[in-house]
Structure 1
């Protein structure tokens, strides 16, 4: 394969959290073998940068009916897996901040640790990832500079990495998360995890 397996995730999506948790429970080495790529709705400036890079953004809003169905389905999955989950109260979050903070943590070689701290805050304690204090606490827990993590949203170098991540999603035809890519094979959604694991075995990434 020219590229390692990729997993497009979002701190916003409970199904992304569930997919990553299931993946790493079944394949503990996944954080080292799989390239994690953050995915979120870009702001106007990032969309302009994407256009300049001959890329775009493929996600489309879901209907209210589908959103309600997905919420109920998530509750069923959480109970089935035996996890503890607290729905966050905040819905209007600027998702660039948390995801650029994750990119900053990756630059510090602490991406997986920061990811875990952030999803614990959001999905196990119901905290607002748009709150700089929450991001700072997660950074400190992960061994990342809290000031640098919160400053990443306006750091030109981090925003360039953000454009690269979003452009990668566009090039891979990513329209929602969680989304797994292995070579030419694509798997969208938590219920496609078995297919992804079979594909990485076939590719020789996992025995």
Structure 2
């Protein structure tokens, strides 16, 4: 099992986008040192492959009430960060398209750039990241071969890589995002980001600086939540 601190992210989750934004703007060195792992709700093929590996996908459907809360909460958190959110319309979401393309971006040495571009496209431009052509365009804009990104969802080796990623999600007990792991410590939701940063201590080269950061996430971001089962995270 990896000993590096891990950051489970998802293009689907607005809280994951906001956590990524906070890490990129306030703690870029930490973000570079984390092991990034994608999280997504699998389609039928991916779930079958995961089951064959002995894994399962931990998922609890969101209630209507929680969804309505999320819409208001995310807009409030985005405005606090000076961000304007454009809600995407997910008529037929196919999360493999973007998340398997992430592996193509990693292979091209452009994983972080791809993540930033896809997050921006989805949450600030309202674009459909379940469209292979859209993903190819976004990939090309950051130096990833468009064909490699577009075809990732159809390639056996990428599907197998995705199944292994889903198995890691199961083994790490990840039930929603953003999800952070530091050794035996687990933190779910953007409201726990500062606790995760504090837990790092000397576990990364920049860990000691986190404890004396003049502008930690908790100083500017309200960590309270109206739902005790909702720590600023979603599946």
**TM-score (normalizing by structure 1):** 0.95
Partner of 2:92: 92
Partner of 1:35: 35
Moved more, 11-20 or 21-30: 21-30
| Aligned equivalents of 2:158, 2:93: Cα separation in 1 | 19
Partner of 2:190: 190
| Aligned equivalents of 1:62, 1:99: Cα separation in 2 | 21
Q: Deviations over 1:162-190 (max 9, x none)?
A: 11111111001000111001100000000
- The answer to whether the Cα contact below 8 Å between 2:33 and 2:204 also exists between their aligned partners in 1 is no
| Aligned equivalents of 2:174, 2:205: Cα separation in 1 | 22
Partner of 1:162: 162
- The answer to whether the Cα contact below 8 Å between 1:38 and 1:99 also exists between their aligned partners in 2 is yes
> Secondary structure of 1:167's partner?
helix
| Aligned equivalents of 2:191, 2:87: Cα separation in 1 | 21
| Aligned equivalents of 2:2, 2:145: Cα separation in 1 | 33
Partner of 2:78: 78
How much has 1:119 moved relative to structure 2? 1.0
Indicate the structure with greater helix content. Answer: 1
| Aligned equivalents of 1:153, 1:45: Cα separation in 2 | 10
How much has 1:2 moved relative to structure 2? 4.8
- The 5 Å alignment of 1:96-111 reads 96-111=96-111
Q: Tell me, which stretches of 5 or more residues in structure 1 are unaligned?
A: none
| Aligned equivalents of 2:98, 2:76: Cα separation in 1 | 27
* Residues 1:7 and 1:108: Cα distance change in structure 2 (over 3 Å): same
* Residues 1:2 and 1:138: Cα distance change in structure 2 (over 3 Å): closer
How much has 1:91 moved relative to structure 2? 4.2
- The answer to whether the Cα contact below 8 Å between 2:40 and 2:95 also exists between their aligned partners in 1 is yes
Q: Deviations over 1:47-77 (max 9, x none)?
A: 1211221111011111111111111100110
**TM-score (normalizing by structure 2):** 0.84
| Aligned equivalents of 2:89, 2:119: Cα separation in 1 | 15
- The answer to whether the Cα contact below 8 Å between 1:5 and 1:181 also exists between their aligned partners in 2 is yes
| Aligned equivalents of 2:156, 2:14: Cα separation in 1 | 29
Tell me how many residue pairs correspond in the alignment. Answer: 207
Q: Deviations over 1:21-42 (max 9, x none)?
A: 1112121123421111111111
Partner of 2:126: 126
| Aligned equivalents of 2:92, 2:2: Cα separation in 1 | 38
Q: Tell me, which stretches of 5 or more residues in structure 2 are unaligned?
A: 209-235
